[in-house]
């Protein structure tokens, strides 16, 4: 029998973040408690531990992720040279210029995450070159990506204690999209770490179907995909809960790659696809009942922490969860 679900929210330590929280009139601890949450999923995108410990709040930790990594792993110098014409550009993106250095960087990232003593780690399984982000003309199949990703994970998995759960997250790019049960099975059959599962990102899964028009459409689509997984649906231990209805943008944006495109412009494009809006429709409760996750991470976009607080409260109400001092949703 599974334990009571833990509700969390995504938190990233960046310069000014603590001050941003304090502008709400609360400490981070008070912010968590005020929403009736159980803690945070901490993003650790660095190779050294944070100076301040988040162990008392960090139920889970999201590991670093490089959207484009296959060329580095395969030592595909032609592809690397095309997108990173100088050693400095390569170093800036990967933190190194060669595969073994990159694997060491992943190990250091895992070690930094484990300092927080999390119950689980999150690892993205997807590949997308800087060009494919815009063209959607993907050169590699889901099976090819999950096979390579499993090999990468297995190279560094000895850093992770067996009592730490590793949850692999889906994206809409090639890899663990979850839309093909055979690919899901093939991936997990290759993983050597025993304590593993899926962190199903609802918005990412919705991004795989640009025809979705409403939150209810999205919920029904996710339920259909989950049902198709058969017994492997039991691997879903967590949800990154958010809504993404970006079909109109996906259908109309120009599929052209500009090699002079800045990181900021690239991120603006990705955010238009991956919206991370809160669910407001109580239909989302069908999802929670069907999946019965151990962890629900309210992974939402926001302008400031007051906005973030409102978005989390809105989604909690849709989930039927009581916010302290508020009304019961649903």
Digit-coded pLDDT (tens) for 282-297: 999 999 999 999 999 9
Contact 205, 170 (CB under 8 A): yes
- Output the tens digit of pLDDT for each of the chain's 330 residues: 557 899 999 998 876 677 788 888 999 999 999 999 999 999 999 999 988 899 999 999 999 999 999 999 999 999 999 999 999 999 999 999 999 999 999 999 999 999 999 999 999 999 999 999 999 999 999 999 999 999 999 999 999 999 999 999 999 999 999 999 999 999 999 999 999 999 999 999 999 999 999 999 999 999 999 999 999 999 999 999 999 999 999 999 999 999 889 989 999 999 999 999 999 999 999 999 999 999 999 999 998 999 999 999 999 999 999 777 655 443
Sign of the dihedral defined by the CA atoms of residues 109, 113, 114, 116, in that order? positive
CA 18 from centroid of its chain's CA atoms = 22
Where does residue 188 rank: exposed (0-12), middle (13-18), buried (19+ CB within 10 A)? Answer: middle
- For residue 204, the model assigns a pLDDT of 98
Q: Tell me the DSSP string of 136-180.
A: ---SS-HHHHHHHHHHHHHHHGGGS-TTSEEEEEP-SSSB--SS-
**pTM for the full predicted model:** 0.96
- For residue 330, the model assigns a pLDDT of 35
In the predicted model, what is the mean pLDDT of the chain? 95
Which class in CATH covers the domain with range 6-274+285-299? Answer: alpha beta
- For residue 325, the model assigns a pLDDT of 64
User: Two tokens at 81?
Assistant: 């040279």
């Amino acid at each position: 029998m599974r334990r009571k679900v833990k509700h969390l929210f995504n938190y990233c330590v960046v310069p000014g973040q603590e001050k941003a929280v304090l502008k709400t009139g609360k400490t981070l601890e008070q912010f968590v408690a005020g929403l009736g949450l159980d803690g945070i999923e901490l993003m650790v995108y660095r190779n050294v531990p944070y100076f301040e410990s988040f162990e008392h709040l960090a139920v889970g930790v999201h590991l670093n992720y490089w959207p484009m990594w296959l060329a580095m792993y395969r030592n595909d110098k032609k592809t690397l040279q095309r997108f990173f014409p100088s050693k400095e550009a390569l170093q800036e993106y990967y933190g190194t210029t060669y595969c073994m250095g990159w694997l060491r960087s992943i190990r250091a990232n895992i070690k930094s995450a484990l300092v927080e003593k999390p119950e689980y780690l999150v690892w993205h399984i997807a590949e997308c070159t800087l060009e494919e982000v815009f063209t959607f003309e993907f050169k590699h199949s889901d099976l090819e990506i999950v096979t390579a990703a499993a090999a990468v994970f297995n190279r560094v998995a000895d850093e992770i204690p067996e009592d730490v759960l590793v949850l692999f997250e889906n994206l809409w790019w090639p890899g663990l999209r979850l839309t093909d049960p055979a690919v899901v099975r093939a991936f997990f059959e290759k993983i050597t770490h025993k304590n593993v599962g899926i962190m199903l990102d609802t918005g990412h899964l919705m991004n795989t179907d640009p025809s979705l028009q409403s939150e209810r459409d999205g919920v029904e689509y996710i339920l259909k995909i989950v049902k198709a997984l058969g017994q492997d649906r039991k691997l879903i231990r967590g949800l990154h809960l958010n809504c993404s209805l970006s079909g109109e943008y996906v259908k109309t944006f120009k599929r052209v790659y500009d090699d002079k495109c800045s990181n900021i412009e690239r991120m603006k494009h990705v955010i238009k696809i991956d919206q991370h809006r809160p669910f407001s429709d109580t239909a989302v409760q069908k999802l929670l009942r069907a999946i019965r996750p151990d962890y629900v991470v309210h992974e939402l976009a926001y302008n400031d922490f007051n906005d973030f607080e409102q978005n989390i409260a809105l989604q909690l109400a849709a989930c039927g969860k009581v916010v302290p001092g508020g009304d019961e949703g649903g």
